[in-house]
Amino acid sequence: MKAWPLLFLIPTALFAQDDLWDDNDWADEEEGTLWTGFLEAGLGTRFSEDPLVANRSTLEDTRWRIESEWQPSRYTVGLKIDAGYDGVENEWFADIRDLSVGFTAGENTDVSIGRQVQTWGTGDLLFLNDLFPKDFQSFFSGRDDEYLKAPGNAIRITHFSPGVNVDFVWTPEFEHDIYLTGERFSFFSPVAGGNVAPRFTALEPKSSFNNGEFALRLFRTIESSEYALYAYRGFFKQPGALTPTLQPTFAPMSAFGASLRKPAGPGLFNAEMSYYDSRDDRSGTNPLVPNSQLRLLAGFEWEARTNFTVGLQYYLEWTLDYDELLANSPNFEFEPDERRHLITNRLTWRAGMDKYTTSLFTFYSPSDSDFYLRPQFAYRHSDQWSLVVGGNLFGGDSDQTFFNQLQDASNAYLRFRYSY
């Protein structure tokens, strides 16, 4: 909260409307360096106390985004920095979301080196072959969707050819997800048999070439249909494994997958699969290491009415060697189901010339009997001011399921943004 006065530092000149038809405005693009960004204040609070987390607030952000881009010679240098104060964690922060150099090597190859956000795959808020880092703390606490994707230090090389395009991302140092540590949200621990908030730090793999991440995508569009094949070598992105001394860590993992996206009837159809090969536990007998998995996704999205879009997805997480898992598990009653089914639904309604966007994203798992609702209302008052109100609501039947473990994290949030 202490940093809110920051907002009053915005020079009042910024609020003055430009002469919108000033002919010099056309020159913007070619002259000098353009600095853009926003100032944002966000507040979120849980509906009920979490006995394990002292702070009832889930979001107390004051952030200043600074963006720019330079084009020295044939290079493009991008910059995106977030700086501000996080009142929940009581700390100032400065996060670099993008600091990368892009250039074209030869005629058909694009290279991007540095800190950057990367995305691929066809799922909507479900990720199978997209094994780039995600920030679930931000996602659950009501920050902008943009923050679900965490940046990573990587080299991306994309080669385009008439046959097939090749996308290769090398992340020399493993970039894990921003997982739940217990600082902001408590989570279920099978060892404790209930929720815990340990504020732990997982053991990261030692830095070496072999412990880097290698992600490959082959993709091509033929007659409106998008096809892709994926391969990945790295680690599970969540600390789901334990060391022999029972410290949480990341198990080695390779993934192989495929996806398709194409128009079908009135909308778009997508399908994706991925096989997660748990390299340290191929037999599924080691209780300290996650088993291999098969993940499947099918989705359909269409505009049901003017300005009203509906998206449906079915997703399956199939844990392989399940008998071995149960036979060796010290607390098998808390192991996830062999097949975790998930259905998602996104409803989006835009009104008033896109000034008002009302949406509801629902995750529902019939096998876990739990759900996660993300209602949101966004109002874009002007090119400068916007407001978002929303919620993250978790519920279900049993304590250990994926969404219901976050029951006490259910929250509502409000964000104001001034863009410049």
Partner 1 sequence: MKHRFKLVLAVAALVSASAQGEPLTNADEIVRQANLAAYYGGADGRSEVRMIISDAQDRQQRRQFTVLRRDIEDGGDQQFLVVFSQPSDVRGTVFLVDKHIDQDDDRWLYLPGLDLVKRISAGDKRTSFVGAHYFYEDVSGRRPTDDTHVITDTTDEHYVLTHVPVDSSTAEFSEYVTWIDRRSFLPMKIEYTNAAGKLYRRVEVLTVEEFDGYPTVTASRVSDLLTGGRTDMQFRYIKYDVGFPESVFTERSLRNPPRDWLERPAN
User: Judged by CB under 8 A, does residue 303 bind partner 1?
Assistant: yes
User: Judged by CB under 8 A, does residue 415 bind partner 1?
Assistant: no
Site map for partner 1, 227-256, x if CB under 8 A?
------------------------------
Cα within 13 Å of Cα(192), Cβ side: 11
Tokens matching residue 217: 């995508």
User: Judged by CB under 8 A, does residue 165 bind partner 1?
Assistant: yes
- DSSP 8-class letter at 69: E
CA dist 39 and 384 (Å) reads 10
Tokens matching residue 153: 């230090």
Pairing type for strands 152-159 and 194-196 reads: unpaired
Site map for partner 1, 180-219, x if CB under 8 A?
---------------------------------------x
Tell me which residue of 130, 328, 395 sits closest to 237, measured CA to CA: 130
CA dist 172 and 155 (Å) reads 8
CA dist 310 and 379 (Å) reads 20
Minimum CB separation from partner 1 for residue 391, in Å?
A: 21
Tell me the CA distances in angstroms from 202 to 181, 199, 246, 331, one per residue in order: 9, 10, 10, 21
Minimum CB separation from partner 1 for residue 36, in Å?
A: 4
Minimum CB separation from partner 1 for residue 21, in Å?
A: 7
Site for partner 1 in 332-351 (CB under 8 A): 350
Q: Which stretch binds partner 1 (CB under 8 A): 21-29, 187-195, 240-248, 279-287?
A: 21-29
Minimum CB separation from partner 1 for residue 8, in Å?
A: 21
> Which of 5, 9, 11, 28 lies at the binding interface for partner 1 (CB under 8 A)?
28
Alpha helices in 228-352 (DSSP H): 322-328
**CB nearer partner 1, residue 33 or residue 245:** 33
> Which of 73, 306, 330, 397 lies at the binding interface for partner 1 (CB under 8 A)?
306
DSSP letters spanning 154-190: EEEEEE--SS-EEEEEEESS----B---SSSS-EEET
Site map for partner 1, 260-279, x if CB under 8 A?
-x-x--xxx-----------
Minimum CB separation from partner 1 for residue 125, in Å?
A: 11
Residues 63 and 83: beta-carbon distance below 8 Å: yes
The residue behind tokens 């390299």 is 279
User: Judged by CB under 8 A, does residue 102 bind partner 1?
Assistant: yes
User: Judged by CB under 8 A, does residue 362 bind partner 1?
Assistant: no
Cα within 13 Å of Cα(240), Cβ side: 20
Binding residues vs partner 1 (CB under 8 A) = 17, 20-21, 25-26, 28-30, 36-38, 67, 71, 76, 102, 104, 110, 116-120, 144-146, 148-149, 158, 160, 165, 219, 221, 224, 226, 261, 263, 266-268, 301-303, 306-307, 309, 350, 353-355, 380, 382-384, 386, 419-420
